[in-house]
Structures are given as C-alpha cells and as structure tokens.
Amino acid sequence: MPMIITPLIGIPLIQPGDSLVEIILAALEKNNLVLQDGDILVLAQKIVSKAEDRFVNLSTVTPSQQAIELVSQTEKDARFLELVLEESSEVMRTRPGTIIVQHKNGFVCANAGIDHSNVHGPWGNPDDWVLLLPEDADRSSRQIRDDLVKISGANVGILIIDSHGRAWRMGTVGVAIGLAGLPGVVDMRGEADLFGFRLRVTQVAAADELAAAASLMMGQAAESTPIVHVRGFPYPLREGNLLELIRPKEMDMFR
C-alpha cells in the first residue's frame, strides 16, 4: 500500500485556547477526508504551542547571572537566554549565534526550540514575542488522540514535529518531539534481510522518518499547512512515546 501524505488546506491562524481537535475535524471535512484505522495526523509544533498559549514577551523576563554570562559567548539577548535556560536541563555547546541545549523533555536542540518566526503577540514590541515548545508534547499528543478516537471511532496516531539541526549534516529536518498511538522506533533486530542474514543492530526511527516527510509537505515559511494527514504508514500502530527516540547520555558520542 502506498503512503499518501495530504497537507490539510484551510487551517486558520491558531489562537490561545483554540481546540485543535475541532480544527482538525473541520479541516478533514473540508479536504474530503474521513479518518480510518491506521491514519496519522502530523501537527507542526507551532500550532500546538500557540493553542496552549506558550507565548512569552521578553520584556517580562528578568535574566539570571548565568544568562548574562552567556551573552558574550552567544551574542544573544540575555532575556532570550534566560528562557532557554528555564526550558533546558543542560547547556551543551555555545558559540556566537548558537546555543545547543538538552531540552527538559530530553532531546538536544538549538535555543531549546524557542522561536520567533510566525509569532505575533497582542501588545508591546512585536520583536519581543517568542514561542516556547509545548510543555509536554507527548501529553498534548495523547489528549488530541484520545479526543479524535472518541469522536471518530478510528484508531489513529498523532505526531507533533519540529525542525532540528543534526550533528553530522547541514540544514534542518523535521523530527518528532511528541507522539501518541504510533511507534517511535521500530526494532528490526532478528529479522532476515534479502539474503537471509539476521539483522543485528537495525532500529528504525519511524516517527522521525515520518516527521521529515511531513515537514517536507508543510514547508518552513508561509505555507499555512501545519497539519498533514497520513494514510498507509508502513508499520502497525501501537502506543509510543518520545523516550524511544532519545539516545541515552552514556551512548551519546557527542558529549
């Protein structure tokens, strides 16, 4: 069965308190799609953060001494750096223009995922508004999935994605930061290849592979397609979570 990825057209600008479930259902109807068992909905992190009111105005932030000290290393606003520290469990690397951290939710990324693009607040200087990642994207995924399953009766998966850089490669790519109802990793160890040899180390980051494909369809700028419907995912749905995708610290060769 081919995998079909359909960006949902007609998603409105998301405001704090909006019901993403209602928006998803309306968009599915507008795009002539009915949820079926095995379908997956991929959501851009930004709309989840906006619905959960993760906006912060930098004028409300008081930088700590640690944030002030990081200014000379990163050339970033001390107030922004304070938010990065609050959202992180460890600062891993710094250089002018960049701060790499381990987010409180376990993954490694730049700036703790805090973003300014396509963010507009209701007051003050527009340049002072930033958007944090969802507090717990796994929890957000579960809540959306539970409601959709209850309403539609279909066994579906939910994937929340963001754009991250990678240690060995240039450019950003879509990765999973929260999921529910689908595997994060598919363990193929012990399965036979084309020539009958048993695989020994192969574990497929299925959620990240899907995140990259969905991100390609969403775009990165002004495309206004932050929700993607997926049909034909090549692995069985099951309960999953972000922890499956996080490499343990003792196995991380970059630390």
Domain residue ranges in the chain = 4-53+134-247, 55-131
Find the mean pLDDT for residues 50-78: 97
* Residue 201 pLDDT level (bands cut at 50, 70, 90): low
Q: Is the pLDDT of residue 165 over 70?
A: yes
Q: Is the pLDDT of residue 131 over 70?
A: yes
Give residue 204's pLDDT: 85
Q: Is the pLDDT of residue 220 over 80?
A: no
DSSP helix/strand/coil, 56: strand
CATH number for the 55-131 domain, one of 3.40.50.2300, 3.10.150.10, 3.90.1660.10, 1.10.287.110? 3.90.1660.10
Q: Are 110 and 98 in contact (CB under 8 A)?
A: yes
CB neighbour burial string for 179-197, b if at least 16 within 10 angstroms, e if fewer: bbbbbbebeeeeeeeeeee
Looking up tokens 């993607």 gives 228
Q: Is the pLDDT of residue 45 over 90?
A: yes
Higher pLDDT, 203 or 29: 29
Give residue 200's pLDDT: 66
Report pTM: 0.93
Give residue 119's pLDDT: 87
> What single letter denotes the amino acid at residue 183?
P
Give residue 24's pLDDT: 97
Q: Are 40 and 182 in contact (CB under 8 A)?
A: yes
The continuous run of DSSP H or E covering 25 comes out as helix 20-30
Exposed/middle/buried for 224, CB within 10 Å: 0-12, 13-18, 19+? middle
> What single letter denotes the amino acid at residue 147?
D
Residue 232, phi then psi, degrees to nearest 5: 100, 20
Give residue 18's pLDDT: 97
Q: Is the pLDDT of residue 221 over 60?
A: no
Give residue 250's pLDDT: 87
Give residue 214's pLDDT: 96
Fold of the domain built from segment(s) 4-53+134-247: 60s Ribosomal Protein L30; Chain: A; (3.30.1330)
Give residue 233's pLDDT: 97
Q: Are 119 and 129 in contact (CB under 8 A)?
A: yes
* Residue 253 pLDDT level (bands cut at 50, 70, 90): confident
Q: Is the pLDDT of residue 68 over 60?
A: yes
Q: Are 117 and 197 in contact (CB under 8 A)?
A: no
Same fold, 4-53+134-247 and 55-131: no
> What single letter denotes the amino acid at residue 247?
R
Give residue 193's pLDDT: 67
Find the mean pLDDT for residues 161-189: 91
